[in-house]
């Protein structure tokens, strides 16, 4: 699988293009985020007012049009692109690249991840060691799990049944352009969602969801019992 099958680096992130080859495996992009940020002069735009409750640590670039909340924590290295909104309580924890017009939501944590243009992560999510394609969306409480319980290297079962060993101990999710995961879904380590693929709410998803498909776990109809109080 090539990264180009899932997403295309947008013009807002063209400065990083040499680090993210379209023909590379999508999980290889995760390992290039730190290198892409290395050596850049990362400081907030001088015209951007920084609220007193915003803690910035290390090398952090914030475009002048970034919308900051009254409180959040941003640890570098990090690069946050134009028109992105950071909401209260967000925790950006190093090696994070964010494109244009994104939402980094309240009480969400981001670590070693690349978010392309128009990504929406509005509420209570964890995004670690992940790639989120253009206009992808995580519903409230979606978790991009990045570490196996046995802490062995992450493997991915492809749609043809082949199992690929990524060689990576920590690897989160890779969402293609316009892919979505519903509220409280858990994307297991190495989960891949093709372009416009959807994972239903409350679904523990592993493996690969092909483009333009919907993944859900069928559940029995609810049962109702009379109250006895």
| Catalytic, out of 19, 63, 123, 137 | 123
Cα distance between residue 151 and residue 191, in whole Å: 16
CA distance 128 to 170: 8
CB contact at 8 A, 146 and 189: yes
Tell me the C-alpha distance between 185 and 193, whole Å: 13
Dist CA 136 CA 176 (whole Å): 7
Strand partners, 138: 181
Question: How many Å separate Cα 45 from the centre of its chain?
Answer: 24
The question of whether 137 is a catalytic residue gets the answer no
The answer to whether the Cα torsion of 43, 22, 170, 114 is positive or negative is positive
Q: What is the largest CA-CA distance in the chain?
A: 67
- Active site residues per annotation: 123
């Amino acid at each position: 699988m090539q990264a180009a099958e899932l997403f295309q680096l947008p013009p807002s992130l063209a400065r990083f293009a040499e680090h993210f080859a379209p023909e590379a495996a999508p999980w290889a992009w995760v390992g290039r985020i730190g290198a892409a940020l290395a050596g850049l002069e990362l400081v907030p735009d001088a015209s951007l007012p920084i609220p007193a409750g915003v803690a910035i640590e290390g090398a952090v670039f914030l475009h002048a049009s970034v919308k900051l909340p009254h409180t959040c924590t941003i640890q570098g290295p990090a690069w946050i692109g134009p028109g992105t909104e950071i909401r209260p309580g967000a925790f950006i924890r190093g090696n994070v690249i964010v494109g244009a017009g994104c939402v980094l939501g309240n009480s969400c944590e981001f670590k070693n991840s690349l978010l392309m243009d128009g990504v929406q992560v509005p509420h209570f999510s964890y995004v670690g060691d992940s790639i989120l394609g253009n206009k992808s969306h995580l519903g409230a409480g979606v978790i991009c799990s990045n570490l196996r319980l046995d802490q062995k290297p992450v493997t991915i079962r492809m749609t043809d049944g082949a199992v690929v060993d990524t060689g990576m101990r920590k690897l989160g999710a890779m969402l293609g352009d316009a892919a979505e995961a519903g509220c409280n879904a858990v994307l297991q380590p190495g989960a891949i969602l093709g372009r416009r693929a959807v994972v239903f709410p409350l679904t523990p998803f592993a493996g690969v969801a092909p483009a333009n498909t919907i993944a859900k776990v069928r559940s029995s109809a609810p049962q109702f019992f009379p109250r006895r109080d």
